[in-house]
Amino acid sequence: MIPLDEAYIVLVEDDVDARLVALELLRNAGAGYCYARKAADSAVLLAKNLRRVDLFLVDINMPVKSGYQFLEEVRGDEKLHDAKIVAVSAGTLSDAVERAKESGFDGFISKPLNPNQFANQVQSILNGETIWE
């Protein structure tokens, strides 16, 4: 269990509005170490320079490198492979959730984010629970 205010969280989201909303929701809930990048490659570079990463929140549908490709890269990285990686996507069809599970994501949070639930969903994941909604 890692308290939200101590967790190192990296958000990977190409949409600027979605990125700002997610960061604001996390920070308003007390998250102390949240970082955001609009592309997978810059998120990996950032993460390698942080003390640690507890959780990646990753948009699945990004240009250049998808969330699935990001997942593969992080799982193959010696420093980052133990971090939890949760898909955050507008694809709420059961197929999208099932594909995320099969691909090795640690959870799925659908967009648009629910401002009343998002921080609690993140804390649940940090507590070791799985979220597939």
CATH number for the domain harbouring residue 46:
3.40.50.2300
Domain range for 72 is 8-126
Q: State the DSSP H helix or E strand holding residue 110, giving kind and residue range, or none if neither.
A: strand 107-110
Distance between CA atoms of residues 25 and 67, nearest Å:
21
Position 131 in a domain: no
pLDDT digits (tens, 9 = 90+) for 6-49: 999 999 999 999 999 999 999 999 999 999 999 999 999 999 99
Position 133 in a domain: no
Q: What is the pLDDT of residue 103?
A: 96
Position 104 in a domain: yes
pLDDT digits (tens, 9 = 90+) for 95-126: 889 999 999 999 999 999 999 999 999 999 99
Is 132:108 a contact under the CB 8 Å cutoff?
Answer: yes
Position 40 in a domain: yes
Distance between CA atoms of residues 74 and 55, nearest Å:
11
Position 53 in a domain: yes
Position 3 in a domain: no
Q: How many domains does the chain have?
A: 1
Position 54 in a domain: yes
Distance between CA atoms of residues 109 and 128, nearest Å:
15
Q: What is the pLDDT of residue 25?
A: 97
Per the omega criterion (within 30 degrees of 0), is the bond before 63 cis?
no
Position 2 in a domain: no
Residue 94 has pLDDT above 90, yes or no: no
Q: What is the pLDDT of residue 92?
A: 59
Question: Collapsing DSSP states into helix, strand and coil, what is residue 37?
Answer: strand
Distance between CA atoms of residues 102 and 46, nearest Å:
27
pLDDT digits (tens, 9 = 90+) for 53-91: 999 999 999 989 999 999 999 999 999 999 999 999 986
Q: What is the pLDDT of residue 96?
A: 86
Give the global pTM. 0.95
